[in-house]
A and B are shown apart, each in its own frame.
Chain A
Amino acid sequence: MATSNRALAAVGDADESLSAVIRQYADTRVGMAVLLLPALIVILGLMVVPTLLLLSYSVKPFTGGEIQAGFTLAHYTNILTSSLQQTIVVRTVKIAAIVTVFDFALGFPLAYAAVRKGGLMGKTIVIATLAPLTIDLVVRSFGWFILLSGNGVVNGVLGTFGLINPQSPPKLLFNEIGIIIGLTHVMLPFMVFPIINVLHTVPRSYEEAARNLGANRLTVFRRVIFPLALPGISAGVLITFIVSMAAYVTPTILGGGVKVVPVVITNAFTSTGNWPFASALSMLLVALALVVIVGYNRILQTIDQTGGI
C-alpha cells in the first residue's frame, strides 16, 4: 500500500516536472529548435553534406584505375561531348518525358473519376492506385517482365484478337518500350494523388455553371478544371518526371542492355570503380532535383493557399 502510494507520487512528480519543462519552453524559440533539430541534422548530415562531398569527387581526376588528387572537369566534358554518354542522357530524358505524358493522360481521368464519382468507385480507384505503391519494385517489374515477354500475356492476348502476327510478336521487353511501360505504372500514383487532392477543392458547381452556360465538356476541362487543378497537375508532373529520371530497378529489369543514367552511374560505381565519373553523372540528377525542389516550393505555397494538401 505504502509502496504503491510512493510509486504514484513518483509518477505524479515526474508528470509535474515534465509538464513544467513543457510549460517553460512550449512557445519559445528553444522549444522550436529542439523540435526541429533532429530533422535538420538528418537532412544536413545525410543529404546536404554528403552531396557536397559527391560534388567534390566529381572534379577529381581518374587515371590508371585510381582516383587522383587534383581538379578536373574532364568527367563533365565527357558527359557533354562523348556520343555514348549523350545517347544515354538523351534517352533518359526522353523516357522520363514520355512517361510523364502517359501518366498525365491516364492519371488525370482516373483522379477526376475518383473525386467526382465518389462512393465505392472513388474508394476503389484510391485503393487500386495506392496498392501498387506499397509493393516491392522488383516484384512489380517482374510482373511486367512476365506480361511483356515474347510469348507473354500481352502478346498472347493481342495475338488472340488477331492484332499482331503471333509468328513475329513485337518486342516489348529489353528496350525503351519496356522501360516506358514499367515506369508509367510505377509513377502513376505520384501523378494521381496530387491531382485528387487539388480536385477535392474544386466545387462541382463551377463545372455545372459552365455547362449551364453552354460549354461542352472539353471547354469545361480546358477553361475551368484545368486552370483550377494546375497546382496539383504541376506537382504530379514534376514529381513524375524527376523520379522517372532517377529510377534504377525498373529500367534494369525491363531495359536489359538498354541503359539509362542511374544504371550507368551504378555500374561505374560498382564495377569500374570510377567514382569521379559516377559522381559527375549523379550531379546531373542532383541539379534536376534542386530545380524541382525550388519549383516545388512555389507550388507548395499555392497548394497551401488553396487548402489542398
Chain B
Amino acid sequence: MSTDSRSGRFSMDNVLETAGTAGYELLVYATLLFLIAPLAIVVLISFQSKAYAAWPPGDFTLQWYTTMPEYTAYLGIEAALFDSLALAIATAVCSTIIGGLAAFAIVRYDFPYSTTLETVLISPLIYPWLVIGLAILLFIGELNSALGLSVQMSFTTVLLGHILFTLPYPIRTIGASLQNFPHTVEEASKNLGATELDTFVNVTLPIIRPGIISGAIFAFVLSFNQYIISLFLTGSDTKTMPLLLFEMFYNNAPAKLAAIATLLMGGILALVMITEKVASISEFA
C-alpha cells in the first residue's frame, strides 16, 4: 500500500521532471535566439530593398553594398575606420605591455596586500566609463590652467582613456596564463645554460602567448567599440567609428547603417574566430 503510493508519487515526479527538462531546454534555446537576434536582424535589414526598417522585410537587394562607395565618401567612413583602427591598435599595444608587466608582478611575487593590489588594478572593469571620460576631461583642463599648458583633446588624450579602461583584460588573461604553467620549465632552461633573456623569449613567451594574444584582442575590440569615453576625450583631429555610427543612427537610412554595421561585424567576428583558433580566447572570458 505504502509502496504503491510512493511509486505513484514517483511517476508524478517523472512527469514533472520531463516537463522541467523540456522547459529548461526551451529556455536555453530561446536565450541563444535572444543573444543572436539583434545581430541577425541588422544583417537581414542590410539585404532588403526598403531603406527604412519594417516587417515583413522588402525584396532582397545588394544595392546598399554596391552603392556604398558613394555614401562612405561624404559620411567620412574611411577616415573614421582609420582613426578607430589606429586607436584600437595603439590601445592594445600599450595596454598589453603595461598589463602584462603588472601580471608578472602579481603572479610571480609574494607580497602583502597582493589581492588588494590586484583588485585595484582590475577595478576599471566596473568603473563607470562615463566617469572615466568626464574625470580625465576635467583633469586635463585643470592641468592646463594650473600649469599654463594648452593640451587640447586629441588622439593622445583619447588613447589615455582607452588604456585605462582596457587595462584589466591583459592583466587577467596574461595572469591566468602565467598561473597555469610550471615554474620549473624556466629553471630547467637556465640550468641547461640559457640566459635569462633566452629563457624569457624562447620558453616563457611561447607558453603565455595565448594569454598575451587574448588580452591584446580584448583590448583592441573594446577600444574599437568604445563610445562614451571617446565622446568626451576626442578632439577635432579624431572621429572614431562608434561616434560616426551613433550620428548615422539619427541622420541616415537604417539600411545604410545596417550595411556598414554588417561589414564591421563580419570583420570583428572573423578576428575573434581567428583568435579563438590560435589562442582559445573564449577560455579567458
Contact = CB atoms under 8 A, between A and B. Distances in A.
Contact of B225 (A109, A126, A137, A216): A137
B167 A39 contact: yes
A106 B268 contact: no
Q: Of B17, B117, B129, B163, which is in contact with the most chain A CB atoms at under 10 Å from its CB?
A: B129
Nearest to B135: A50
Contacts of A249: 227-228, 246
A139 B16 CA distance: 41
B115 A134 contact: no
B131 interface: yes
A113 B24 CA distance: 9
Contact of A106 (B31, B139, B221): B31
A292 B281 CA distance: 26
Contacts of B123: 43, 47, 289, 293, 296
Contacts of A19: 195-198
Contacts, number: 271
A142 B257 contact: yes
Interface SS of B by simple majority = helix
Question: Chain A, interface size: which category?
Answer: 35 or more
A143 B246 contact: no
Nearest to B118: A300
Interface stretch (A1-9, A146-154, A202-210): A146-154
Nearest to B228: A248
14 contacts: A36-B105, A39-B167, A43-B121, A109-B27, A135-B265, A143-B40, A147-B41, A245-B128, A265-B130, A266-B130, A282-B130, A292-B126, A293-B119, A293-B127
Given A131-B269, A301-B115, A309-B172, 13 more contacts: A36-B105, A46-B160, A49-B139, A126-B282, A133-B285, A135-B265, A149-B53, A152-B55, A157-B55, A246-B129, A262-B130, A265-B134, A293-B123
Interface of B: 13, 16-17, 20, 24, 27-28, 31-32, 34-42, 45, 53-56, 97-99, 101-102, 104-105, 109, 111, 115-121, 123-132, 134-136, 138-139, 142, 160-161, 163-164, 167, 171-172, 176, 195-198, 200, 221, 224-225, 227-228, 231-232, 241-242, 245-246, 249, 254, 257-258, 261, 264-265, 268-269, 272, 276, 281-282, 285
In the complex, the 5 A-B pairs of residues with the closest C-beta atoms, listed nearest first: A143-B38, A50-B135, A156-B55, A246-B128, A39-B102
